[in-house]
Amino acid sequence: MFHHSGRRDGNSDVAAFDVRRTIHSFFIEVARDHADHAAVLYDGRVLSYSQLDRKSNQFARFLTSRGIRPGAIVGLFLSRSPEAIIAMLGVLKAGAAFAPLDPAYPADHLAFIASDAEPFIVVSASHMFSKARLAADGVAFSPAALPWTAPTLLMDAEEEAIARESGGALAETVAGDDLAYVMYTSGTTGRPKGVMVPHRGVTRLAFNSFVDLGPDDVVLHLAPLAFDASTFEIWSPLLNGAALAIVGAAHPSFNEIGAAIREGGVTTAWFTASLFHAIVDHQIEILRPLRQLIAGGDVLSPRHVRRVLDALPQCRLVNGYGPTENTTFTCCYDLPRDFSADAAAPIGQPIEHTRVYVLDQNLRPVPAGEEGELFAAGDGVAIGYLKRPELTAEKFLPDPFCGEAGQLMYRTGDLVRRRADGVIDFTGRVDRQVKIFGKRVELDEVEALLRRLPQVADAAAQVRKRTDGDRQIIAYVSSHSSIDPEALRRHMLDLAPDHLVPAHFVVLRDLPRTPNGKIDRASLPEFAGARAAPLAVAQDLNAIEATLAGVWSRLLKTDSVGVDANFFDLGGASLDVMALQEEIKARFFCDVPMTALFEFTTIRSLAAHLQSLDASAAGKGAEASTDRVAVDDLNSRKARQAEALKRASRRRVVSTS
């Protein structure tokens, strides 16, 4: 068993970590010491620490005037923005806790979370319900038909009333053990479960040495508010006198991430393993300004780690590991410069104020070199699951090793092996939980959702590894009637977030069974790869379509690509869309926004869209502008784009599928 319990190492000017104190009490000290320092950077705007402190005080007072009391839960239906940071701080200063409601989640999923969390009020903003925002996030509801029953408070609509409140500090009403937020994760029963994280979990995360943060640092804020990576991205800078740079786009491209890093002067970033791999493969140069890079949430590819260590000699690369139930990070590992591309990246050792145990099935410590289950303890451990006392008792056990009554240890379900030097290697899972794009997925939950679909008699979900190392969910469904896999995918998107939606569907008349009637998962047919919609053997494609077909084939790792096949039905994911955007830019000299790639999801429709850009460029290329340099650059780019598209349009090719 290993633990770190050291005090702060001087990353900022606030006092040493104190488990009894709240997030906002530490923030108030930082705001006092760095009043004029930038706290939040967003779209050219700068919010100083003093401004953030005052505005969050005003919002806290406004909430209390609306009846918010200590211990209440406040829903946050907000995207990444300065207003979201103000709202979070204001909720905490009012003594309440927040529960993020991700705008990208379907209405059914949000409705369940809202009914489970029972927020006293839901804080949002008018722009969250604009047509553009709804289209960008795929939200299927409007302010007239919200998936929650609590009153909705629009921050912009109440702006004048909030501004009339006093900006002075509020009296402290809660302590370090009290609830700070509820974060929902995948559950085995088809129901998400709410993890109750206390203030001490967040302050313990912020006051740590796995990263070095101070007033000269800027941390990239890229994660959705409902993903626990945002806990690190928001509170680690704000409790250390650093700034956070917000990426505003709902589906940012590699270029937009790079621009945020470059223009915000970002020094520190956290990426899920899948996004880390994609950036390294397609645009590693956007990482060059970074001084510290944390990647994790899933197993890191040694080859990608080696590439970053070679390409970014000035950048510290850290493998970050940890479940939501232990507040974002549990173990970290500084990847050494001599790391071998033939070796697996360890998860490392516990961060400060954290204890970990490697135990056998009888909860006894196993010797170094033997496999066991990892248990996490210390100040980061959550209070438990909201309204789930049985599950809480099953996963949060009394800690028999620390010698202090009332301490809990969390059963992670992760299998690990401890080396003689104390470094820990991840070896697998004890259950059917997997990581998809860095987010936890219980395959049992996926199966429960599949069984809710029309015409599905039964279902099984398996995971396969793509050739790039990322994982995909394959759904096997049984049905005694004709069933369209594309329709199944659309139905799933209405029920669940993207990471719970299978990449591929295999329809069988019956699922194989064991003698006792259970699904025989070992006998499920091996997935043969994506299949395009039925097509003629020969397709007469123009060169734009043929070029796109070649790009799709490489990205999706399949030779079967038809002009009317849907990118996502062939297994494409949001990271593949980012890569597709880069490929189009390289071949056609045009910047296609991510929203367009989510709209034009077949080769035929995307090729037509590119041709329409050609026509638009021709019509606008000669427009006058007072900024001559900008016009010359724009016209040069448009000319290259138009020429590439015209060359492609003049040629005809025949492709066989």
For residue 142, give the CATH number of its domain.
3.40.50.12780
Q: Can you read off the two tokens belonging to residue 508? A: 């069988």
Find, among 248, 185, 239, 238, the residue nearest to 45 by Cα: 248
In a domain, 433, yes or no: no
To 10 degrees, the CA torsion angle through 317, 319, 325, 326? -70
> Nearest CA to 641 among 590, 580, 593?
590
The residue type found at 2 is F
Question: Low-confidence residues of the chain, pLDDT below 70?
Answer: 1-16, 130-145, 467-469, 528-539, 614-657
Instruction: Round to whole Å and give the CA distance between 473 and 447.
Output: 11
Which of 418, 453, 481 finishes a domain? 418
Give me the pLDDT at residue 656, please.
26
CB 143 within 8 Å of CB 125:
no
Residue 275: Cβ within 10 Å count: 22
> Running DSSP on this structure, what letter comes out for residue 403?
-
Of 100, 60, 106, give the one whose Cα is nearest residue 78: 100
Domain extent, residue 557, equals 538-656
Ordered alpha helix ranges (H), 384-429: 389-395
The CA-CA-CA angle for residues 110, 115, 118, to 5°, reads: 115
Based on the fold, state whether residues 28 and 170 are members of the same structural domain. Answer: yes
**Contact predicate 415/428, CB 8 Å:** yes
Closest to 354 in 3D by CA, of 405, 416, 410: 410
Question: Domain of 515: which CATH number?
Answer: 3.30.300.30
Does the residue 528 lie in any domain? no
Q: Cα–Cα distance between 483 and 156 in angstroms, integer?
A: 46
- As a whole number of angstroms, the distance between CA 19 and CA 73 comes to 22
Does any domain span residue 531? no
Instruction: Decide if 334 is inside a domain.
Output: yes
- What's the pLDDT score for residue 83? 98
Instruction: For residue 431, tell me if it sits in a domain.
Output: no
Same domain for 364 and 496, yes or no, is no
368 and 399 co-located in one domain: yes
The domain boundary, picked from 388, 418, 448, lies at: 418
Q: Same domain for 379 and 508? A: no
Backbone torsions φ then ψ of 41, nearest 5 degrees: -115, 130
Q: At which of 523, 555, 583 does a domain end?
A: 523
Instruction: Report helix, strand or coil for 13.
Output: coil
Same-domain pairing of 459 and 555: no
Closest CA to 570 of 528, 531, 526: 531
Instruction: Give pLDDT, residue 657.
Output: 26
Q: What is residue 359's three-state secondary structure?
A: strand
12 and 116 share one domain:
yes
Note whether 284 and 145 are same-domain residues.
Answer: yes
Considering the domain architecture, whether residues 414 and 444 belong to the same structural domain is answered as no
Which pairing describes strands 652-656 and 538-542: parallel, antiparallel, or unpaired? antiparallel
Answer yes or no: is 578 within a domain. yes
Domain count, the chain: 3
Token pair 């994911």 is at which residue?
573
Q: How are beta strands 97-100 and 218-221 bridged, if at all?
A: unpaired
Tell me, yes or no, whether 517 and 614 share the same domain. Answer: no
Q: Quick one: 503 and 597 in the same domain?
A: no
Q: Are residues 101 and 208 in the same domain?
A: yes
Q: What is the pLDDT of residue 469?
A: 66
* 135, 217: one domain: yes
Which residues are CB-contacts of 475 (< 8 A; sequence separation ≥ 6)? Answer: 446, 450, 459, 460, 461, 488, 502, 504, 505, 506
H-helix or E-strand spanning residue 442? strand 439-442
545 contacts 607 by C-beta, under 8 angstroms: yes
CA distance 295 to 275: 9
Instruction: Please check whether residue 232 is in contact with residue 293, taking contact to mean a CB–CB distance below 8 angstroms.
Output: no
pLDDT computed for residue 614 by the predictor: 67
Residue 429 forms part of a structural domain: no
Largest CA distance in the chain: 78
First to last CA, the chain: 56
Instruction: Assign residue 648 the CATH number of its domain.
Output: 1.10.1200.10
Task: Identify whether 616 is part of a domain.
Answer: yes
CA distance 246 to 443: 32
Question: Tokens representing 156?
Answer: 């912009």
